[in-house]
Each structure stands twice: as structure tokens, then as C-alpha cells.
Structure 1
């Protein structure tokens, strides 16, 4: 184990990235309390290193610290969701509008659509959600900007936390598998502007569905 003392920035960043990947994969749920001891053992790092990683993710809005209680996975608000979708429109629609069919990221979009369909057949809704995240990450990769791709990783983690608050993951994810496929088909056919417009409609529908589902869940829980 990496013992006591100062942790290296690169190690801290790697642990933060690993935790962010768990959020994107839906393995950590909104409101979940994180066990410092368990995660330090899992990653084979000191608690100091883990706390530094927690601080990075808290700054990003993915975790929250409660005095005398510990560190918890954040629970996005409706305002956060609106902002996330505002950012997604700027990133994804623009990336598609300027893309070309032969871009290497298109193959990753294809693989994500194939995986999403396979996960649907297996009724693995968490797997469907993870495939969907990979599809949209590949869309942002069309912009050929590592900074934008890195930024989207944070957005994707916040988005998965939004999904994690909903009680019906099948209803949330299934309609968008074929919408992803249709966007991909437009791009492959050399219609990037049509793909961009389809993504705009997709994001509007998705945003409305999430906000409506959260409102229903709030009424039920209340």
C-alpha cells in the first residue's frame, strides 16, 4: 500500500479518474456514503491519497462532504440537470455538425450501439446505460479535442447520477438505443447536419423525461 505521507498529484488524479469511471458506469449511486477504508484498500492507496481524490471530485460537484458524517455521492438538482443538458447541446450537437463519416470515433459509436442492443436483449439496464454513455463520449470525440473529451467525462458522471435517481431504468434508456442508431446512420450517410438536428431532438426529449421522472419520484418519496 502507498503509505502515509504526501501523495503524488498523478496518483491522486488516477484515483479520482477511477472513481469518476465508477460513477459513469452507474456503480456508485446518488446519496451513497463512500467507505474510506474500503476504497483505500481497493485501490491500494493511503487514506491521504484517497482524501485528495475525494476533494477533487467534491470540487467537481460529484461528491459532497458532510462534517462528522463522511463523504457521499452527490444528488443532482433540477437546476444541475438543466445546466448539464445545456452543456451537452453545445458539445454534442456542434461535434456532429462538423463531423465526417470516416472519423475514428464513428467506430466507437457503432460499437456502443451494438453493445446497447445486446444489453437490451439481456435486460441489463445498467449495461444499456453504460453503452449509452460510451456512445455520447464518442460523439464528443468527433471534435478532436482532448480537453473537451476530458470535460465531457465529468459531465457524463453527473449525468449518470441523474439517471441513478430514477426508479425505472428500462423506461429511461430503451427509447434512446435506436435514436443513437439513427444519429449514427445519418453521420455514416454523410448527413452531419441531420445528425446534429437529431441529437438536438434527442437531448430535448431526454431532458424532459428526466425532469418529469424526478418530479414524479419526488412526489412519491414525499
Structure 2
């Protein structure tokens, strides 16, 4: 099945959840999920007619959903060409990591006082990544990694932080596409996610924060190098 049919099919299956008072926001949420799950890649054009049919919404509603995602820096409108999934710049990447350090480190500092279910969500995301790796499902390892970092941010106990993390990590998933082999990029971070989860579960907050900062520094450097290689190859 072509990739486009896969993600459009998911939207079609979820259309029963659409609420009349917030349809555009819900359509935007469905599209954001496709980005976060790695099914929509940078530069991909979004077909209006197919999306309107799949979600059973008007073009005006769909365009409002597009507008919301343009504001979140996930989509871009190209004059006379349509709406496309945005390709982040290296400056975007640096800013995403700047904000991640603030929000995720704040989450780690709350780990010792977090309710058990919050730490269970972290453990579940790590375990899902490990299962996906054993099965060779490397794109799903990337999705599990996103869920892990969402759960770390959620330790703050703030709906506003949750929303910011949701948007940041959708942007991050677009960056992952620039790295080529999902296995090559994600495999080293499986053990680091496990280490972070274990440190937080034991209440070793200081050690967890130091590890997280090192982790984010390494990931940013690796992604930035990938961007530089891509840009050099396009010259």
C-alpha cells in the first residue's frame, strides 16, 4: 500500500471522532499525529481533495486546519503549488533543542515527586522502543523515542508544557527524516533511554539531568552534522 494511502486511511478511520465545534483543530491534530508517527515526511504535498473526502470536511475547514499547522511550523503554503510538510532548517533544529533542554530538564527535576503512573508511561515508552528494535521496526523505534520524551516533559504536570512538547516533538520527527537510516540514528539512544528511565525510577534526579543534557547535546550534534552533509550534497 502506498504511504499516502496509509496515512490518509488513518484519518478516514478517525473521522467519527470529529466534533462539530472543533473540527478544524481535530483535523489538525490528526495530521500532526501522522507527522509525529513518521508517516508524513518533509517536502510531501498534502492533497486537499483526498483529505476532504477522508475526513468528510469542507475545504474551508481543511484550510483552517492547515493554517493551524502552519502556525506550529509543521506545514508551509507555497504560492500556486499547495500545502507541504515543512523541512526544518539547521537554525530551527538548534531552537528545538534549546527549548527541549528547558522543558525536559524541568521534567526530570520533578521525577522524584512524580506519581507512579507518570514513571510508568516513561517505562512503557522505553519498553516499546526495545521491542520495536528487537523486531527490526526501526521507524517505530523513532516513534517510541518521541513518546519517551513526551513522557519526560509530562513529569512537569503542566498542560502548557505538554502542548509545547507535543509541538516540539512533531518538529523533531521531521528532523529524523534527514538522517537516512532510522536504525543507524536511533539504535545508540535505546540504551540511553533505558539509563534515563532507570535513574528517574531510582530518584537519582541529579544524575538523570546530567545524562539528559549530555544526551541532548550529542543528539543535536549528530543531527546538525546530518543537516550539513545534506546541504553539502545539494550544492
| Alignment-derived partner of residue 71 in structure 1 | 83
Shift of 1:81: 0.3
5+ residue gaps, structure 2: 1-11, 13-18
Q: Highest relative contact order (Cα 8 Å, sep 6+), 1 or 2?
A: 1
The answer to whether the aligner puts 1:144 opposite 2:157 as a matched pair is yes
Q: Structure 2 matches for 1:1-222, cutoff 5 A?
A: 10-100=22-112, 102-222=115-235
Alpha-carbon separation, structure 1, partners of 2:103 and 2:150: 10
Alpha-carbon separation, structure 1, partners of 2:164 and 2:172: 13
Count of residues in correspondence between the two structures: 217
Shift of 1:45: 1.3
Contact 1:103–1:142 (CA under 8 A) maintained in structure 2: no
Superimposed CA distance per residue, residues 194-218 of structure 1 (whole angstroms, 9 cap, x where no aligned partner): 1111111110000000001111122
Alpha-carbon separation, structure 1, partners of 2:202 and 2:93: 32
- Give the alignment's TM-score, normalised by structure 1: 0.93
Alpha-carbon separation, structure 2, partners of 1:178 and 1:97: 21
Shift of 1:8: 5.4
Give the SS at the match of 1:165: helix
Alpha-carbon separation, structure 2, partners of 1:114 and 1:59: 34
Alpha-carbon separation, structure 1, partners of 2:119 and 2:137: 24
Alpha-carbon separation, structure 1, partners of 2:35 and 2:57: 19
| Alignment-derived partner of residue 4 in structure 1 | none
Contact 1:167–1:217 (CA under 8 A) maintained in structure 2: no
5+ residue gaps, structure 1: 2-6
Could you tell which deviates more after superposition, 153-162 or 35-44? Answer: 35-44
Give the SS at the match of 2:111: coil
Superimposed CA distance per residue, residues 42-91 of structure 1 (whole angstroms, 9 cap, x where no aligned partner): 22211111100000111111100011100000000000000000000000
- Bigger helix share: 2
Alpha-carbon separation, structure 1, partners of 2:227 and 2:21: 37
Shift of 1:221: 3.3
Superposed CA RMSD: 1.6
Alpha-carbon separation, structure 1, partners of 2:229 and 2:21: 42
